[in-house]
Structure 1
Amino acid sequence: MSDVLKAKINKRFVDSAMPPETGDTRIWDIELRGFMLRISSSGRKTYCVKYRVNRQQRWMTIGEHGLPWTPEAARNRAREVITEATKGVDLSETPSERVKALAGKGGLVIAKAMRDATIGQLFEMYFRDGPSDKPLKRESSWSVDATSYKRHIKPLLDDVIAKDVRPSDLAAWQRDVAAGKTSHDIKTGPRGRSIVKGGPSAASRGMRCLSAMFSWAIWREILETNPCSKVQKLRDNRRERSITTEEAKKLWTVLDEAQAAWVIAPHYANIIRLIMLTGARRNEITELNWSEVDIERSRLVLPPIRTKMGSQNKSRTIILSEQARAILEYLPRLGPYVFMSQISGKPVLGVNKAWLKVRELAGLSDVRLHDLRHSFATFAVEDGASLYLVGRALGHANASSTERYAHPGDTAARIIAEKVAERFAIGRE
C-alpha cells in the first residue's frame, strides 16, 4: 500500500522525510508537475518523473537520493524529460535506442544531434544510466567520478562535442587541471566554503573518470573511439607515509584514551582499530554488514560490489587476527550494519573528523586514515611477507598496486645496505 502526499521537494524535506513502516510513500512536488520522490520502507529515497510522450503515459526513475542526484539536480532532470517528451522524444530510452527510433521515423536531424552530444550531455547520461549498466561498480566510485566531473571536467570541457575531442585536447586539459586552473575558494554560506585545489592527483583522477565515460559511450554505441587511451597519463604523486612501530604503539594508546574520555565515540575508535589490524579500506569497515562477518572462521567475506575487485566479479576475504576478532565479538548487533547510526539506520558517518582529532592527539598530523592501510602493508613486508601475500591481504587485483603500497621502509633498506657492505668488506680482509 502506498501513501501519496504533496510537498516542496528540497534537501531539507528529503533529509528529514521518514520511511513508512510498510510499502512506500510517494511525495509529489508542488513546483513541477510529474516530479516525485518515492520513499520505501527500507529508507531508500528515489526520484521519479511521470510524463506523456506520443499520447502514452510513461514513468522514469531518475536515481537514488545522493550524489549526483540532489533534489535540484533531479528536478532539472525531470523538467528536461518532460520538455523533451512534448517534442516526442522519450529520454527513458537508451541513447542508441533513441537514435535508431528517431532515424526510423525520419528524424535524421535529431538522430545526428544525439551523435553530436557534448561531453556534459554524455556525462549526464553516464551518471543516469551507468549504474544499471555497470552494477559491480561501487557507489563510492560513482561518487568520486561525480566529484571529478563537477570540479574539474565540467568547468573546462562541458560544451565540447565529444566525438570531436582529440588526445591533444585532453592532454592540454590534463595540464591545466594539474596547474590548478580549476582551483577555487568560494564562500557557500555563512559558515561554509568550497575549496578545490586541482593538481596532478586531481588531473589523474579526472582522466580516469573521462576514460570510463568514453568507454561506456563506446559500449552504448554512441561513440567509436576513446581519445583518453592515447594520452600519456600523469604520475599520481600520491604521498606515501608509513607510521613507525613506535608511532603505532602511541596511536593505539591515544585511541584508548580518546575513547575513555569520549573525545571520540567508541564506534569511531573501533573502526580505526580494525583498519589498523586488517589493512582494509575505510569503506570496507564503515559499511561492514554483519552478514559479511564470519566469526567462526575469523574472517570477513565482502561481496564483489563492496570491493575494488568487483569488476572481476570476485569477493574479497579479509583474515581477522585475534585482536580484530575480539573487537567484533564484543560489539552488540543492533541492526544489519556493524557500525550503524541509530538515527538513519545506515552506516555511521564522520570517521574522518574523528581521525583528525586522534591524529592531532598522537602527534601524527601528516598521517591520513588511508596511511594506516599503507602501514599495514609496509609492516608485513618488513616482517618478511611476500608481495603476493601482502597483495592478497590488501585485496589487490594486480602486483603493481601492492608495490606502490608496500615499499620497504628506511629501516629495512638500511639493514640490506649494511649486509651487502659486510659482504664487500670480507674481500678486503
Structure 2
Amino acid sequence: MNARTLSDIVALELATANLPAADARPAHAGRLTQWASELPGFGVRSYASGRRIYVVQARMDARTRTVTIGDARVISRVQALDVARRVLVRAQIGENPADTLMSTRRVPRFDAFLSEFWDKVSPRWKPSTLDRNIYYRRHLERGFARRFLDKIEPADVSHWFAGLSARSGPAAANRSLQLLGEVFNKADAWGVIPANSNPCTQIRRNPTRKHECMLSDAEFSRFGSALADLRVSAPMEADAIRLIALTGCRKGEICGLDWSEVRGRRLLLHDAKTGPRTVWLGKAAAELLERMPRHANLSSVFWIADKPLTVARLDGAFRRARLAAGLAHVRMHDLRHSFASHAAAMSETLPMISKLLGHSSVKMTARYAHLSDDAAIEDNERIGRLISKLMELPGERTTRDFRRYVRE
C-alpha cells in the first residue's frame, strides 16, 4: 500500500488538474510522454505521427504498469483525468489497473446508451408514443449527451430538470424526466450501471394543474352550431369531432379509426391507449358513420387529401370551432369528460362509465368486467342521444328539458 493518506486520495479525486502546455507541442521524432504534475501517474504520450494518447502508470505487484486510457482525439482531457484518478485509487488498494480500466470503459456515454435503448425499446411503442418521445429525446441529448452514465448524479439531473422546467414548461420537463428515468431503469436492468443507482428516482416532478371541464347544456348548443358551420369548410374534421363527443373516444382513437374496426353498432379498436377495446355506438354515432364517404385507396374512416386525418389537423379544426363558440377554455379532451359527466348525471355507475370510456384500472376492471354488452350499448345510446340533441338545438337548454326525449 502506498503511503499516501486517504485525505490525499480524496483531494486528488476532487482536484481540477490541467496538463502542462508542453503536452500540446507538435509532432516530434520518436515517442514522448509528458507527465502531469497535478496527478502523478497521469500523462499524455505523443508520437511522431502526431497521434496523442492518454496513459496512466501505477505500481502493482512489485512492478510498474502503464495502461492506455484512450486517444486524445476521442476522449477529452477531463474525462481521461477522471479515469486516471479512479485507476490510481484502485491500484493503491490492490486492484489491477488494467482490469479497473476495462471495468471503467464498460460504462458507456449517455448518447451511446440512449441510441442502444432507442433501438431496442422504441419498436414496442405505439406510433403516438414514439412521436412524443422523439420530441422529448432532444432534451435528454442536450443535457447529458457526452456524460458517462455512471457519472450522472441526482444533483446533475435536478439542475437539468430545473432549467428545462423554466425553458420548456413544467409538463414538458415532467415527460422528459419520465423518459430519462426509463433510460436509466433499462441501464440498471441490463447491468450497465450499478443496481439501484437511477439518479432520477430522487427528483420530484413539477405539480400539474388538473384541467377538467364539463360543457354545460348551453355550451354544447353553441358548440354544435359551431361544428355545423365548420362542416361547410372542413367536413371530415367536423364529423370526427362530433364522433368524439358522441362516444367519449380519445382523439387519437378517432383519427386512427379504420373501416375494419367499424362493426355495425360498435367499434373494435385494436390500438387504443389501454389496449384493444369495444366502443358501442348510439344511433347518432352510427348514423354519422353510415354517411361518411369512403376513400377508394384508404381504409381510414377520416381522411384528408388522400391521407389519414392527423391529430394536428384535428386540433386545428377544433380550435376554430371552440373559438367560434366562445369556448376558448375548452380542450378536445373535455368532450370526453363531458360524456362521462353526463353519464354520471344520468345516474350511471362508475364501473359502467369506466367501461364506456375504456379506462384502464385493475380495481375498476375487476368491478365492471361482469357488465353485459347490452347494458353498455343501451347507456351509450342514451348518452349519445342527449349530447346529439344538445348540439342540434339552439338556446339555453337544461338536461331536464331533454329527460322526456332521452327516455323515449
TM-score, normalised to structure 2's length? 0.58
The whole-number CA distance in structure 1 between the counterparts of 2:143 and 2:251 is 32
Which amino acid counterpart does residue 277 of structure 2 have in structure 1?
Answer: R
Deviations 1:77-96 (A, max 9, x none): xxxxxxx9xxxxxxxxxxxx
Work out whether residues 130 and 216 of structure 1, in 8 Å CA contact, stay in contact via their aligned partners in 2. Answer: no
The whole-number CA distance in structure 2 between the counterparts of 1:217 and 1:267 is 45
Secondary structure of 1:228's match? Answer: coil
- 1:168-187 equivalences under 5 Å are 168-178=155-165, 180=166, 183=167
1:131 to 1:149, Cα distance in 2 relative to 1, 3 A: closer
- Point out 4+ residue stretches in structure 1 off by more than 6 angstroms: 106-111, 399-402
Aligned to 2:173: 203
Work out whether residues 201 and 238 of structure 1, in 8 Å CA contact, stay in contact via their aligned partners in 2. Answer: no
1:117 to 1:328, Cα distance in 2 relative to 1, 3 A: same
- 1:5-404 equivalences under 5 Å are 112-118=104-110, 120-132=111-123, 135=124, 137-150=125-138, 152-178=139-165, 180=166, 183=167, 198-223=168-193, 224-225=195-196, 226-260=198-232, 262=233, 265-295=234-264, 298-303=265-270, 306-310=271-275, 315-334=276-295, 335-344=298-307, 346-348=308-310, 350-398=313-361
1:200 is displaced (CA, Å) by 1.9
Which amino acid counterpart does residue 146 of structure 1 have in structure 2?
Answer: I
The whole-number CA distance in structure 1 between the counterparts of 2:212 and 2:317 is 21
Work out whether residues 167 and 228 of structure 1, in 8 Å CA contact, stay in contact via their aligned partners in 2. Answer: yes
Higher relative contact order (Cα pairs below 8 Å, separated by 6+ residues): 2
Work out whether residues 247 and 279 of structure 2, in 8 Å CA contact, stay in contact via their aligned partners in 1. Answer: yes
Deviations 1:84-133 (A, max 9, x none): 9xxxxxxxxxxxxxxxxxxxxx9996885452321x3332233333223x
Work out whether residues 138 and 307 of structure 1, in 8 Å CA contact, stay in contact via their aligned partners in 2. Answer: no
Aligned residue pairs total 264
Structure 2 regions of 5+ residues with no counterpart? 1-73, 75-97, 366-408
The whole-number CA distance in structure 1 between the counterparts of 2:293 and 2:178 is 40
1:250 to 1:219, Cα distance in 2 relative to 1, 3 A: same
Work out whether residues 204 and 236 of structure 1, in 8 Å CA contact, stay in contact via their aligned partners in 2. Answer: no
Secondary structure of 1:327's match? Answer: helix
Identity over aligned pairs, percent: 28
The whole-number CA distance in structure 2 between the counterparts of 1:243 and 1:123 is 43
The whole-number CA distance in structure 2 between the counterparts of 1:108 and 1:291 is 59
Secondary structure of 2:327's match? Answer: coil
The whole-number CA distance in structure 2 between the counterparts of 1:247 and 1:325 is 24
Deviations 1:226-260 (A, max 9, x none): 33334333322243333222111211121112213
Secondary structure of 1:236's match? Answer: coil
Secondary structure of 1:227's match? Answer: coil
Which amino acid counterpart does residue 229 of structure 1 have in structure 2?
Answer: T
The whole-number CA distance in structure 2 between the counterparts of 1:365 and 1:230 is 38
User: What RMSD in Å do the two structures reach over aligned CA positions?
Assistant: 2.9
Structure with higher helix content? 2
Aligned to 1:76: none
The whole-number CA distance in structure 2 between the counterparts of 1:234 and 1:390 is 30
The whole-number CA distance in structure 2 between the counterparts of 1:366 and 1:360 is 9
